[in-house]
Chains A and B, each alone.
Chain A
Amino acid sequence: MFTQTNRVRRRLVTGGALLTATALALAGCGRSEDSGAAAPESTTSVGSGPATGDLTVWAMGTEGENLPQLTKAFEQANPGTKVTVTPIPWDAAHNKFTTAITAQSLPDAAMVGTTWMGEFAGLDALDPTPNGFDTAGFFPGALDTTKVGGVGYGVPWYVETRVVYYRKDLAAKAGITTPPTDWDGLKAMAKAMQDKAGAKYGINLQPGGQGSWQTVMPFAWSAGASITSDDDKQFTLDSPEMQEGLKYYQSFFTEKVAGTDLPPNQTEAQFVSGQVPMFISGPWMAGSIAKLGGDKMKANIGVFELPKNKTSTSFVGGSNFVVFKASKNKDSAWKLVQWLSEAKTQTEWYKLSTDLPAVQSAWQDPSIASDPLLPVFGKQLETAKAPPAIVNWEQVATAFDAEVEKMAKAGQSPADTAKAIQTKATSIGTGS
């Protein structure tokens, strides 16, 4: 859900791109050095006075609709400031941003999908986080998503991570009283769900297709793999650790504990019906299961952290909040960002939107701490990781998904899969 590829119609993209290119070619404008190759240093620092002037903000989806309620409080604390929020549908957002970056018609600040950071920073659109901006309180994995080539751009705004969901009643039937903590335990539990609790498949794992890397990488990370070298310059997807993660993932399909023939977008329904009583996903699923299965089902939803190999490392998603270089009111824009990342604001925002806070201290609020499921997500977030913020990540991820599909459905060996992902990723390049 947070790795949107642009789905705007083909004609718009091609036509728009070609038109822009031609128009620019005709206008003959030139630009030489600022191609984003050299990492820019942050030059600004946030002033201490109240924010002033008008601010325009873009935000996607329900966040875009809810944000004005939150910014009202900011306007009250900073008299004379007016924040105008433009809601953008997720589907059109990536394209709208890249077009706006090309045309330099950007807002002052915006919510940005974590996997777009590398690309937008590569397009030289983002303003580096000012000096002295306190970022210590964020979840480290979430904070990593704001860093491109060692430079921070903006802050994490809200987060999500993936844990294992299971049906408590069926687990009891299968003779499982405490959730497993290691790889063998997870497999055994899924098998028991099939053998003793009447499930068609023990666990629902995505057999390739868009975004499946988000479920695969946590296993590889837990085995010690990494996507790139420490400096983000080389891909390291062909490591033995990566193969170990892939092998474990594939074994669920070869042992028929997970299915390749399940219709997509039926995860909740199959969970409620008991056909597939386990899956790995993010916090939003608890709500949609409760909606489908009612209060009785709600009591049967259990979650536990990803099983451990070397570590238990999940995927961290969410959205960041950035300020654009082109903004004419940067100081006030950063003040808004600073205000958005205060623990108190983050708690308010959780109550308004159910988006989980990116600031760790906000999780102590009773509204989150007393939830039956959320603390597990909070625990998982402490170690969760994000893919490196490289320009070409979306493209690498697509190649990754295609190879995972071959491995799950066509029996491609984990070694060949790792090799193919590495080869494709290398030929695509990091893009920086």
Chain B
Amino acid sequence: MSTATLQEKSARVRPPGRPSARGRRPLDRQTLAAWILALPFVLLFLAFSAGPVIGSLGMSFTDIKQRDLRTPFAVNGVGIENYVKALSDETFRRAALNTAYFVVVGVPLTLVAALGAAVLLDRGVKKFQSLFKVAYYLPVVTSIVAIAVIWRFVLSPDAGLLNTVLGWVGIDGPNWLASKTWAMPSLIAMAVWRNFGSAMIIFLAGLQGIPQSVEEAGQLDGAGSWQRFRYLILPLLRPTVLFTSVVTGIGYLQFFEEPFVMTQGGPLNSTVSVSMYTYQQFGFGNYGLATAMSYLLFVVIAVVTFIQFRLLREK
């Protein structure tokens, strides 16, 4: 790449107020070639990503039902009725609260577990690092259906592993998945166990990217290991924390598989999630209502992610 284009590029990154007033320049050969090469992707993206997204936004303002799919122009616009209906739906609000509960408790737990495991792997067990990496990552790549079978056994009220162990210390464990109080914590535990491996790998990469010299400098200044972690390592990990918290947050806001395979949203709607309820509405053919619910979730995800960026970005 020539220096000229480099300069031009850096000039484009920070435009001086308005873009250049010279108007549109004809496409040069290089740009044209780039567009042609990108065309298959752009077309596929428009047809299968952007198109459906825009289409579904449109659908959320209509009364479209399953039977209207063959005549998509025969549907009526209903304004924000679907959004009002979703927000005034008792079960949807319940699902929103459940999802919030899951995110607020689940995301920090996942990140702490992931960071803890990453630090231990990075500092402690150099010898079997690969083994532990694989072991912690295994739940991430295992099918949720297989995981559900194992967890149903763990959480089973009578012969379950968890209640058997609790029985040894004289605690009479509850019927975890059938209890209104314990069903959600059970699912959170399962989700943390299932997901912390992927965040751990990213944390581990972040930790290994911090030069040894930083910590040695801290050691020379007389900082203890907690102080070094708190005031040196953690601030340097900030971009990694941002990334993992955003990715985990988005994933957890779309909380779906755990209640879907374990509880079907019960007991008494105590584990129904926004995604799951939306899915149910799609199943009933209420596409207008379901897409409205999807967009409500989309807005929440956008807002939460924005807040995370504001709180955690580099100062």
Contacts and interface: CB of A to CB of B under 8 A. Distances in A.
Interface string B253-295: 0001000000010111100000100011011111100110010
B56 A25 contact: no
Given A22-B51, A31-B74, A398 B280 contact: yes
A406 B270 CA distance: 12
B66 A261 contact: no
A278 B266 CA distance: 25
Nearest to B264: A210
B309 to A, nearest CB: 27
Contacts of B70: 24, 29, 31, 102
A428 to B, nearest CB: 8
B143 to A, nearest CB: 12
Given A10-B279, A14-B282, A209-B266, A24 B72 contact: yes
Contacts of A20: 69
A30 interface: yes
Interface string A105-139: 00000000000000100111000000000000000
B18 interface: no
A188 interface: no
B282 A395 contact: no
A98 B73 CA distance: 19
A19 B69 CA distance: 10
A364 interface: no
A84 interface: no
Contacts of B279: 10, 13-14
Contact of A21 (B47, B59, B175, B269): B59
A359 interface: no
B59 to A, nearest CB: 6
Given A13-B282, A17-B282, A261-B178, A410 B268 contact: yes
Interface residues of A, number: 45
Nearest to B179: A261
A18 interface: yes
Contacts of B65: 431
A405 B267 contact: yes
A431 B91 CA distance: 21
A263 interface: yes
A426 interface: no
Interface string A345-388: 00000000000000000000000000000000000000000000
B269 A402 contact: yes
A22 B282 CA distance: 16
A26 B267 CA distance: 43
B73 A261 contact: no
Interface in B54-93: 55-56, 59, 64-67, 69-74, 91
B99 interface: no
A30 B74 contact: yes
B266 A405 contact: yes
Contact of A18 (B56, B268, B285): B56
Nearest to A8: B283
B73 A22 contact: no
B128 interface: no
Contacts of B282: 10, 13-14, 17
B68 to A, nearest CB: 8
Interface residues of B, number: 42
Nearest to A25: B72
B67 A36 contact: yes
A10 B284 contact: no
B52 A18 contact: yes
Nearest to A396: B284
B73 A30 contact: yes
B226 interface: no
Contacts of B175: 261, 263
Nearest to B66: A98
Nearest to B64: A21
B283 A19 contact: no
A119 B284 CA distance: 10
Given A5-B283, A30-B74, A409 B157 contact: no
A178 interface: no
Interface in A160-217: 208-210
A42 interface: no
A123 B59 CA distance: 19
A187 to B, nearest CB: 24
Interface in B139-169: 156-158
A394 interface: yes
A39 B267 CA distance: 41
Nearest to B266: A209
Contact of A24 (B48, B69, B256, B291): B69
A15 interface: yes
A35 B72 contact: no
A168 to B, nearest CB: 26
Contacts of B72: 21, 24-25
A394 B284 contact: yes
Contacts of A398: 280, 284
B283 to A, nearest CB: 5
Contacts of A431: 65
Contact of B267 (A5, A6, A409): A409
A20 B282 CA distance: 14
Contacts of B256: 10
Contacts of B56: 18, 21
Interface of B: 47-48, 51-52, 55-56, 59, 64-67, 69-74, 91, 156-158, 175, 178, 180, 256, 264, 266-269, 275, 279-280, 282-287, 290-291, 294
Given A17-B287, A21-B59, A260-B178, 16 more contacts: A10-B282, A13-B283, A21-B52, A29-B70, A29-B71, A31-B71, A102-B69, A210-B264, A263-B175, A392-B284, A398-B280, A405-B266, A405-B267, A406-B268, A409-B180, A410-B268
Interface of A: 5-6, 10, 13-15, 17-22, 24-26, 28-32, 35-36, 98, 102, 119, 122-124, 208-210, 260-261, 263, 391-392, 394-395, 398, 402, 405-406, 409-410, 431
The 10 A-B pairs of least Cβ separation, nearest first, read A18-B52, A22-B55, A31-B71, A395-B284, A10-B279, A102-B69, A25-B72, A22-B51, A18-B56, A13-B282
